[in-house]
A and B are shown apart, each in its own frame.
Chain A
Amino acid sequence: MKTLYFEEVEEGDELPPIDLLLTKDFVRKYAKTAGMDFPRFTDDEGARQEGLPGMIAPGVLSMGLLARLIGEWNQAAQITRIGTTFRSPVLPDCAIHLLGFVTQKDTERHTAECDIWMENDDGERWVIGTATVLLPTRNS
């Protein structure tokens, strides 16, 4: 991980992608640790009884992974806002890809706006969103 100052960040910069195998074990552990020990997040059969295709990842886990995308791009970036749209259930035991770009910079506030999203191997975007990050400056 590295530190990027506001002056070093450009509109159009790509956030280094993260490729993950999101396992069911990991999702179960996350759900239990987060106090979300519900069948939809821990058990395929229980999830199917709720009308889902199988157990799914909690939305906050997806948001956390997208926050990690920003943290690994720039450890000095402070996320001041993050917003996501869940376009499809995130089904574990498959490869997911976290991707993003810097799309805008605010020179007065020293912030950057980032597009962030999670997609699968077929390029289906399961979660899309944006984040505003506050960046350190060389003068501060």
Chain B
Amino acid sequence: MARVIDLHLHSEASDDSRAPVEAYLKWLARKRDERPLDGIVLTEHRQFDTQSDYRALEDKYGMLILKASEVETEYGHVLVYGVNDAMLQRFDFSNVRLRAQELIDEVARMGGVAMPCHPGRPTIGLIEHYENRPPLEGVVGVEALNGGSKKGENERVAELIDTYGYHAFGGSDAHLVSFVGICATEFEKDITNTEELVEALRAGGYRPVDFRVRRAPAQPASSGT
């Protein structure tokens, strides 16, 4: 059972990460006091991992491990939860020009949920595209807290949520082992599998949680020294 879940991270299966799944779990076990997570969702870039079976790691570390995808659309990047064979036949996840409205509608019809991530980020975030295109229909939530965002990006999302009434969730967007769980989502109900995750994401009853610990920067020396 899981209540606090990192809904967005990348393992070595993604082309821009070298982090093994077990290294993430060991890190979370080590950082349990700072980042009290119960589960993670692997959201590999432009693909869905149909092969890996993480049940042994779930038992060993006492963590829920689910799989999802991060795909690319003309409205920016979108996380797809509840991926199944029908979706993989309907869409080529490696296509970087997927049509967002079609993806959201079809994923919902096929039993999943598609939710824009890091919406405040230039080029690959929803907000910039809403300036030039009509708003998408059927969006139930957006990633309001992304662990890789720069200053101002997460703040811009608050206005988006106010305007459209989206649910807000959080994820670390970790590509490095030590970043896992710095941001996550706390659910009101326990999640035990992908179906329950999809149901909860659609219904609401969750909030982003921030576990980042800011280090006080020291007085810098000159680079020339």
Chain A residues packing against B (C-beta within 8 Å): 11-12, 17, 19-23, 25-27, 29, 83, 85, 87-88, 95-97, 99, 101, 103-104, 113, 115, 117, 121-125, 128-130
Known: A12-B30, A115-B177, A128-B175. A21 touches B220 (CB 8 A): yes
Please report which residues of chain B, range 180-225, place their CB below 8 angstroms from some CB of chain A when the two chains form the complex: 212, 214-215, 217-224
Closest to A117 in B: B176
The dominant DSSP class at the B interface is loop
- Point out which of A99, A103, A129 has the most chain B C-beta atoms below 10 A from its C-beta: A103
Q: Are B220 and A128 in contact (CB under 8 A)?
A: no
Q: Are B18 and A130 in contact (CB under 8 A)?
A: yes
Q: Are B176 and A128 in contact (CB under 8 A)?
A: yes
B27 within 8 A of A: yes
| Cα separation A87 to B124 with both chains bound (whole Å) | 13
Contacting residue for B177 out of A85, A104, A123, A125, CB 8 A = A104
List of 8 A-B pairs having minimum Cβ-Cβ separation, nearest first = A103-B177, A19-B220, A26-B223, A115-B176, A21-B220, A19-B218, A95-B220, A124-B150
- Give the B interface residue count (CB, 8 A): 27
The dominant DSSP class at the A interface is strand
Q: Are A11 and B220 in contact (CB under 8 A)?
A: no
| Cα separation A128 to B147 with both chains bound (whole Å) | 13
Contacting residue for A17 out of B151, B212, B218, CB 8 A = B218
| Cα separation A21 to B150 with both chains bound (whole Å) | 20
B10 CB → nearest A CB, Å = 11
Contacting residue for B220 out of A83, A96, A99, CB 8 A = A96
Known: A22-B223, A23-B224, A25-B224. A121 touches B26 (CB 8 A): no
A104 contact set on B, CB distance < 8 A: 20, 23, 177
Contact string against A for B residues 143-177, beta-carbon threshold 8 Å, 1 for contact and 0 otherwise: 00000101100000000000000000000000111
B217 CB → nearest A CB, Å = 6
B94 contact set on A, CB distance < 8 A: none
B134 CB → nearest A CB, Å = 29
| Cα separation A114 to B223 with both chains bound (whole Å) | 23
B16 within 8 A of A: yes
| Cα separation A12 to B178 with both chains bound (whole Å) | 9
| Cα separation A125 to B217 with both chains bound (whole Å) | 14
